[in-house]
Structure 1
């Protein structure tokens, strides 16, 4: 779990580093979010992983890269501490260890929101096939009634949207496109130029 998180965090951090200063306000495939908002969401989710342990994110700078690196360090400190990583906590998906919670939520989010950030800023949006396969396996095993709840805006708190309505894709669509459609992304999303 720890190694998977680090690999995904490395990939997400590389995407942040490749964003030009003039791209942070670009729209993203998440309708209400800019590229900056995508990174802030990931930072906020790192904080959500710490809350059940009675911890908070450390203070950090204002820039997206600084904020992500600081949040990442906070979560890695938990994953590196066997006692903290093994501590059980209550989550919206039930009781699990802190390490499992990180693995199932923020770690799993990194490749998907990495796609959002890449699409918003003109980067390669290919998701690691290992992450696509694992993501599809976990998403498609979510019971229908739970998935329905995940698609309701605000079901897990004000302003919290887990998944959008499913986007239908062609029967011969790639595994990545099927995964993206399932979680409510249009795999063919293209940033519209302002004009």
Structure 2
């Protein structure tokens, strides 16, 4: 199943997940404590949040429990396990089509991955890159998918712990900058 236009979900997710894994792998050890664009979160907190969301999504498939990474846990290993689990589930037609519970909007797993995991992982990838001084370029197709998905939900996403106030982008801002500004990030 695809995302309506463009790459199928497993391919799109695979690119975003690979890039997030590279950001974790290539993060200099002395930068994990750097502040991120997410208020009150360090680079480590951002990566741990994304791993935790992946674990939560996988737990939604079988009703098992999940836990957030703890300080000292190998985030690269945790990421490989979590993203590998998502990729395996996307590759299994039964799991990819399985409806998740109300906590996940009662969406089929593949649709949930397209909506939450791709956008969450994509945007937090930028946060992690910004916090750690790495390349901030995002996958252009994923930016378009996230924009189509998030812009209509403007009022629903403005809440504590989610997204801050929009920032007006420059007239000549590219699609990545417009998405990040919409989500309250200063580029």
| Whole-angstrom distance in 2 between the partners of 1:164 and 1:59 | 23
Indicate the residue corresponding to 1:150 in structure 2.
157
Is contact 1:85–1:97 with CA below 8 Å preserved after alignment? yes
**Greater helix proportion:** 2
Instruction: Report the alpha carbon displacement of residue 122 of structure 1 after superposing the two structures with TM.
Output: 0.8
Indicate the residue corresponding to 1:55 in structure 2.
64
Q: How many aligned positions are there?
A: 176
| Whole-angstrom distance in 2 between the partners of 1:21 and 1:33 | 16
CA RMSD of aligned residues (A): 2.1
**Greater strand proportion:** 1
Instruction: Report the alpha carbon displacement of residue 56 of structure 1 after superposing the two structures with TM.
Output: 4.1
TM-score when normalising by structure 2 = 0.85
TM-score when normalising by structure 1 = 0.82
Partner residue of 1:84 out of 84, 95, 111: 95
Instruction: Report the alpha carbon displacement of residue 22 of structure 1 after superposing the two structures with TM.
Output: 0.7
1:38 aligns with 2:50: no
Instruction: Report the alpha carbon displacement of residue 174 of structure 1 after superposing the two structures with TM.
Output: 1.7
| Whole-angstrom distance in 1 between the partners of 2:91 and 2:65 | 17
Indicate the residue corresponding to 1:17 in structure 2.
25
Instruction: Report the alpha carbon displacement of residue 184 of structure 1 after superposing the two structures with TM.
Output: 1.4
Is the partner of 2:107 in helix, strand or coil? strand
Partner residue of 2:129 out of 113, 118, 125: 118
| Whole-angstrom distance in 2 between the partners of 1:186 and 1:59 | 27
Is contact 1:167–1:184 with CA below 8 Å preserved after alignment? yes
Indicate the residue corresponding to 1:191 in structure 2.
none
| Whole-angstrom distance in 1 between the partners of 2:81 and 2:164 | 29
User: Unmatched 5+ residue regions in structure 2?
Assistant: 1-8
Instruction: Report the alpha carbon displacement of residue 75 of structure 1 after superposing the two structures with TM.
Output: 1.8
1:181 aligns with 2:181: yes
Indicate the residue corresponding to 1:193 in structure 2.
none
- Cα-to-partner distance string for 1:130-160 (whole Å, 9 max, x where unaligned): 1222222222233xxxx3232111xxxxxxx
User: Unmatched 5+ residue regions in structure 1?
Assistant: 154-160, 188-195
| Whole-angstrom distance in 2 between the partners of 1:31 and 1:94 | 26
